[in-house]
């Protein structure tokens, strides 16, 4: 099993890295650290660790524990979006389909297909370590579209 991390350990690491970045380069250092995505990826690993502690089959996690590449790009209400963490179904295989529901993505190819996407548990992690205005479109969509999806 991959190295599991607790929320407290991740928060301690994030605090330490933000303090070090600020001490060495001020606000620019903090912003560069946040843009590197290192803090948020620690939180992704916390979620994966909790899933594994709760007996989720590690073969169904995407991206796998300890990895940050390989996010699934699932079709949503407005756009296709890389999902932070997915638990994929073990009884449905991805199937290429043309999106035929009315909306912005109508006619585009979906490499996973409706059935696979509908049965995938998607977990997305948000932080507000920087300005919320930079993530406005994502925050707005979270208000209603993710629940609808």
Whether 36 maps to a domain, the answer reads yes
Number of domains observed in the structure of the chain? 1
Whether 1 maps to a domain, the answer reads no
Q: Return the pLDDT at 60.
A: 97
DSSP string, 20-40: HHHHHHHHHHHHHHHHHTHHH
Whether 124 maps to a domain, the answer reads yes
Phi-psi region of 70 (alpha: psi -120 to 50; beta: other; left: phi over 0): left
Which residues on neighbouring strands pair with residue 95, listed in sequence order? none
Average pLDDT taken over every residue of the chain: 87
Whether 2 maps to a domain, the answer reads no
Whether 114 maps to a domain, the answer reads yes
Q: Return the pLDDT at 81.
A: 86
Q: What is the pTM of this model?
A: 0.82
Domain assignment of residue 17, given as a range: 7-148
pLDDT tens-digit map of 93-102: 999 998 876 6
């Amino acid at each position: 099993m991959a190295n599991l991390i607790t929320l407290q350990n991740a928060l301690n690491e994030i605090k330490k890295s933000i303090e070090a970045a600020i001490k060495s380069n001020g606000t620019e250092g903090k912003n560069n650290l946040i843009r590197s995505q290192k803090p948020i990826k620690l939180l992704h690993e916390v979620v994966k660790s909790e899933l594994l502690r709760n007996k989720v089959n590690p073969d169904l996690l995407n991206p796998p524990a300890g990895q940050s590449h390989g996010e699934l790009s699932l079709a949503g209400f407005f756009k296709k979006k890389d999902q932070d963490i997915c638990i994929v179904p073990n009884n449905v295989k991805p199937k290429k389909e043309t999106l035929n529901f009315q909306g912005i993505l109508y006619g585009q190819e979906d490499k996973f297909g409706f059935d696979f996407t509908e049965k995938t548990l998607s977990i997305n992690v948000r932080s507000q370590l920087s300005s919320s205005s930079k993530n406005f479109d994502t925050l707005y969509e979270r208000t209603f579209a993710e629940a609808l999806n």
